[in-house]
Structure 1
Amino acid sequence: MGPSDEPSGLRAGLRGLTTRGRSFLAAGVTAVVCAYLLDQDALLRVGVLLAALPLAAALLLSNTRYRVASGRRLSPRRAVAGQEARVHLRVDNVSRVPTGLLLLEDKVPYVLGPRPRFVLDRVEPRGNREVSYRVRSDLRGRYPLGPLQLRLSDPFGMCELNRSFSASDVLTVVPQILPLPYVRLSGEWAGQGDSHARALALAGDDDVILREYRPGDDLRRVHWKSTARYGELMVRREEQPRKARATVLLDTREVGHRGSGPASSFEWAVSCTASVTAHLLERGYQTRLLTDTGLAVPGSGAGGGNTAADASGLILDALAVADLSEGAGLSRAEEPLRAGGEGLLVAVLGDLDEEQVARLARLRNRTGGAVAFLLDTATWAGLRMLAPDTGGDEFRDRVLRLREAGWTVLPVRAGDSVTELWRAADRAEAPSPYRNEAGA
């Protein structure tokens, strides 16, 4: 990218005079006036010299024909909240003359830190310089970087001219992703194993897909009935395991969360969603993100064609800018869930009322497995400080009703670990918290 067009000529140079240059010009004009009034030739020569120096610097600097290009590279382009990212800048002198003193300043949002500034003494013709700086944000989001500003200065510091580059980049800060252990979830189907074996056992001879025998095929796969019919060896075609599907539902309703900033229940929910999504993608699930607004990422028709890395990038980008919604219910998420067919459903939920619990109970029948992180948001508001180990009666009732509907419910309090809660979802492990209190 190259600098944008800027005014040139003496007028532009005069506007770029520094405090030192303006002082020299003012002193020179004053000396010339005094020399004229006092009829002092020596003082006149001094005044002319003082005034000519900043004017000459401004004229020379405004007429420079530097051709400078720059580039920016982010490492990584997606940074995790709380971790540093490095921005690499490269300045190329594409002209045939060396540059003078160059001052670089990159524009960054204040949440990423102070604006970085660099001084390059001289760049030879066709030469380049590389500099880098670090940025960090504890808040997820998308932050613009740039444009880069180039400041030209004369050796005496009399004049400075700014040139701006037009291109900019975006740094995406994604939620924190915590590693989750492998667990066996109730009702899940991973595309193989017992459920797959039962499906094959139910298939009759008419459902078998056959092909001709090829050297190296396992003789145990020979289909003798078809071999006798066609007069040549026929073998069963290898079964193609179905891709396991999963949906992670994030409750973004403002009425369903409490607290503010990084310590709010909503930020915990976003981080939990990112961790679960990344874990399911690593396990081979075709995973999508769904919110109460009906937004699905990847969208319909896109999930099957995306690789795990593509899907992860799309979902993390969406979670980076996820915000609280004004909705009051989860009804807009039901249609995408019905259209998605059976699969594993993991829901990260805030406060629920009776209607929302009833809707979730009915949705359970359409999924192969269902896990709910149910946030006791009162603990984020400090309303259960005296008895942190037990939820309120209404909260325990919500847990019980969802469990009776077949959900694996993981009650969440402020400060709980996503990793430990996920481990409690293992169907072979001990029951999760609140089971005794809820009477499940």
Structure 2
Amino acid sequence: MPQPDSPSGLRTGLRGLTTRGRSFLAAGFTAVLCAYVFGQDALLQIGVLLAALPLAAAVLLVRTRYRVAGGRRLSPYRVAAGQEARVHLRLDNVSRVPTGLLLLEDKVPYVLGPRPRFVLDRVEPRGFREVSYRVRSDLRGRYPLGPLQLRVADPFGMCELTRSFAASDVLTVVPQVQSLPAVRLAGEASGHGDSNTRTLALAGDDDVIPREYRHGDDLRRVHWKSTARYGELMVRREEQPLKARATVLLDTREIGHRGSGPASSFEWAVSCAASVGVHLMERGYRTRLLTDTGLAVPGPESGVIASVGEAAGLLLDTLAVVEQSDGGGLGRAEEVLRLGGEGVIVAVLGSLDDEQVARLGRLRRRAGGAVAILLDTATWAGLRHILPDAPDQDATDQILRLREAGWTVLPARAGDSVPALWRLAERTAGPAPYQSGAGS
């Protein structure tokens, strides 16, 4: 555990004088001056005593070498927006002398709540004290905690010195993740079944990679050509199906969203993308996150991340700090998907124009299945509270065009539940009209 730096020097002690200490010092100097002017020896003694008391407290406090160590533990270190996390603090007295009155203070951002302060009375030699406090934020992000500050005071309250620990921690507030129902998406098998079938169909008998026969192998898997070539019994390797792949496309364009703060359409979209991404990972998809800026976060089994838990944590950590972009289109995301767009695409989209709808139509041709969660951002801005059911002709035309291109479109409005919306993906899913002759 880290230890604080100990200040030294009378000047440091004088800077740590409290209001009480400064008042005693001023009163002592005044009494000494009056005693000199009026020739009162008794007043002189009183003035020296008043001035000496805070000075002695400062010197004593500066020369006191408290050896303390402090630590911090977060439980948990990653928390969803709107939920509480607990911060545990521990202070150890590693010296052979007891401490005096200690005031412990931890530095936290204002969005997490008030700055916690604790008063610790005498800590025995080799003893420790543990305290804790709670933090909560409705805004996602990464918030630094610390450094921990220790205020040492003398018994008379004349002087107070602050010693800081260098260590700090980070609390990550991630978007809220909602549990989604298991639905069968259109084209969801194209990430593994179709691709694997095409590979096996194109592979001839000479393309089989054999291995040595092992006890217990099925004799029907014996590869006779390789056996004759190598002079020992060889069998075909077991076929390893490709893992289903999925891409969650998040539209972060500032011009595509309305509202501000936690109730904005952008925050709803971020939470929706987090829920969908974690849900697909739990269902076995090798899921990556992609934004309109071209930012791509790999999923499990990508060569960098091994487990689903690590991949989900990386996705949530990325979404915790994602910000709105000043871009105007989806061109960069299209470039990334050109390098490998097979599998399922789930796009969480804000307001679109005709060019972006056309780009989405081209992206659909590179995917086995595609679901578009299209936000009616006007409902987040309160522009349709008078006629909430009034149709938006432009939005209706965009939905029709996307569906004609093969997208499963789920219109979303302010207040809609992500699990209820996701359940419609199976009911509204239909075969893409161009799949029989797809190509790009």
**Fold conserved between structures, TM > 0.5:** yes
Greater mean alpha carbon deviation, residues 18-27 or residues 72-81: 18-27
Q: Which residue of 2 aligns with 1:306?
A: 305
Change (3 A) 1:162 1:111: same
What is the distance in 1 between the residues matched to 2:335 and 2:29?
Answer: 78
What is the distance in 1 between the residues matched to 2:301 and 2:231?
Answer: 45
Verify: 1:2 aligned to 2:9, yes or no: no
Q: Deviations over 1:40-96 (max 9, x none)?
A: 443333332222211110110011112222222211111110001111222222333
Change (3 A) 1:141 1:363: same
Verify: 1:30 aligned to 2:30, yes or no: yes
Q: Deviations over 1:202-235 (max 9, x none)?
A: 7553444433432223455455787799887654
What is the distance in 1 between the residues matched to 2:376 and 2:332?
Answer: 23
Q: Do the aligned residues in 2 keep the contact of 1:57 with 1:158 (CA within 8 Å)?
A: yes
Q: 5+ unaligned residues in a row in structure 2: which ranges?
A: 431-440
Per the TM alignment, residue 5 of structure 1 is displaced from its structure 2 partner at its CA by 5.8
Tell me the secondary structure at the aligned position of residue 211 of structure 1.
strand
* Residue type at the aligned position of 1:107: K
Q: Which residue of 1 aligns with 2:359?
A: 359
Change (3 A) 1:229 1:54: closer
Per the TM alignment, residue 314 of structure 1 is displaced from its structure 2 partner at its CA by 2.1
Q: Which residue of 2 aligns with 1:406?
A: 406
* Residue type at the aligned position of 2:4: P
Tell me the secondary structure at the aligned position of residue 324 of structure 2.
coil
Q: Do the aligned residues in 2 keep the contact of 1:287 with 1:303 (CA within 8 Å)?
A: no
Identity of aligned residues (%): 78
Per the TM alignment, residue 330 of structure 1 is displaced from its structure 2 partner at its CA by 0.6
Q: Which residue of 1 aligns with 2:93?
A: 93
Tell me the secondary structure at the aligned position of residue 306 of structure 1.
coil
Q: Do the aligned residues in 2 keep the contact of 1:109 with 1:145 (CA within 8 Å)?
A: yes
Q: Which residue of 1 aligns with 2:384?
A: 384
Tell me the secondary structure at the aligned position of residue 217 of structure 2.
coil
Verify: 1:320 aligned to 2:303, yes or no: no
Tell me the secondary structure at the aligned position of residue 366 of structure 1.
coil
Q: Which residue of 2 aligns with 1:297?
A: 297
Verify: 1:157 aligned to 2:157, yes or no: yes
Tell me the secondary structure at the aligned position of residue 14 of structure 2.
helix
Greater mean alpha carbon deviation, residues 250-259 or residues 375-384: 375-384
* Residue type at the aligned position of 2:64: T
* Residue type at the aligned position of 2:125: P
TM-score between the two structures when normalised by the length of structure 1: 0.90
Per the TM alignment, residue 310 of structure 1 is displaced from its structure 2 partner at its CA by 2.5
Change (3 A) 1:216 1:30: same
Tell me the secondary structure at the aligned position of residue 303 of structure 2.
helix
Q: RMSD of aligned C-alpha atoms? A: 2.6
Q: Do the aligned residues in 1 keep the contact of 2:292 with 2:333 (CA within 8 Å)?
A: yes
Q: Deviations over 1:389-425 (max 9, x none)?
A: 4540110111110111111111111111111111111
What is the distance in 2 between the residues matched to 1:71 and 1:36?
Answer: 53
Q: Which residue of 2 aligns with 1:437?
A: none
Change (3 A) 1:44 1:230: closer
Q: Which residue of 1 aligns with 2:436?
A: none
Verify: 1:15 aligned to 2:15, yes or no: yes
* Residue type at the aligned position of 1:360: L
Per the TM alignment, residue 180 of structure 1 is displaced from its structure 2 partner at its CA by 0.8
Q: Do the aligned residues in 1 keep the contact of 2:148 with 2:164 (CA within 8 Å)?
A: yes
Per the TM alignment, residue 201 of structure 1 is displaced from its structure 2 partner at its CA by 6.3
Q: Do the aligned residues in 2 keep the contact of 1:376 with 1:391 (CA within 8 Å)?
A: no
Tell me the secondary structure at the aligned position of residue 189 of structure 2.
coil
Q: Which residue of 2 aligns with 1:435?
A: none
TM-score between the two structures when normalised by the length of structure 2: 0.90
* Residue type at the aligned position of 1:388: P
Change (3 A) 1:42 1:226: closer
What is the distance in 2 between the residues matched to 1:218 and 1:418?
Answer: 48
What is the distance in 2 between the residues matched to 1:190 and 1:367?
Answer: 8
Q: Do the aligned residues in 2 keep the contact of 1:191 with 1:241 (CA within 8 Å)?
A: no
Q: Do the aligned residues in 2 keep the contact of 1:16 with 1:161 (CA within 8 Å)?
A: yes
What is the distance in 2 between the residues matched to 1:388 and 1:210?
Answer: 65
What is the distance in 2 between the residues matched to 1:47 and 1:109?
Answer: 45
What is the distance in 2 between the residues matched to 1:191 and 1:334?
Answer: 18
Q: Do the aligned residues in 2 keep the contact of 1:254 with 1:327 (CA within 8 Å)?
A: yes
Q: Do the aligned residues in 2 keep the contact of 1:190 with 1:285 (CA within 8 Å)?
A: no
Tell me the secondary structure at the aligned position of residue 2 of structure 1.
coil
* Residue type at the aligned position of 1:81: A
What is the distance in 2 between the residues matched to 1:229 and 1:76?
Answer: 59
What is the distance in 2 between the residues matched to 1:49 and 1:190?
Answer: 89
Change (3 A) 1:410 1:304: farther
* Residue type at the aligned position of 2:364: R
Give the alignment of 1:200-211 within 5 angstroms: 200=200, 204-211=204-211
Q: Which residue of 2 aligns with 1:217?
A: 217
Q: Do the aligned residues in 1 keep the contact of 2:195 with 2:242 (CA within 8 Å)?
A: no
Q: Do the aligned residues in 1 keep the contact of 2:286 with 2:301 (CA within 8 Å)?
A: no
* Residue type at the aligned position of 2:304: G
Q: Which residue of 1 aligns with 2:72?
A: 72
Q: Which residue of 2 aligns with 1:47?
A: 47
* Residue type at the aligned position of 1:3: P
Q: Do the aligned residues in 2 keep the contact of 1:83 with 1:136 (CA within 8 Å)?
A: yes
Per the TM alignment, residue 9 of structure 1 is displaced from its structure 2 partner at its CA by 2.0
Change (3 A) 1:241 1:29: same
Per the TM alignment, residue 20 of structure 1 is displaced from its structure 2 partner at its CA by 1.3
Per the TM alignment, residue 33 of structure 1 is displaced from its structure 2 partner at its CA by 3.3
* Residue type at the aligned position of 2:184: R
* Residue type at the aligned position of 2:280: L
Q: Do the aligned residues in 1 keep the contact of 2:6 with 2:65 (CA within 8 Å)?
A: no
What is the distance in 1 between the residues matched to 2:288 and 2:188?
Answer: 16
Tell me the secondary structure at the aligned position of residue 177 of structure 1.
coil
Change (3 A) 1:228 1:163: closer
What is the distance in 2 between the residues matched to 1:182 and 1:104?
Answer: 49
Tell me the secondary structure at the aligned position of residue 425 of structure 1.
helix
Greater mean alpha carbon deviation, residues 157-166 or residues 201-210: 201-210
Per the TM alignment, residue 195 of structure 1 is displaced from its structure 2 partner at its CA by 7.0
Tell me the secondary structure at the aligned position of residue 304 of structure 1.
coil
Tell me the secondary structure at the aligned position of residue 271 of structure 2.
helix
Q: 5+ unaligned residues in a row in structure 1: which ranges?
A: 433-440
Q: Do the aligned residues in 2 keep the contact of 1:286 with 1:304 (CA within 8 Å)?
A: no
* Residue type at the aligned position of 2:19: T
What is the distance in 2 between the residues matched to 1:201 and 1:328?
Answer: 42
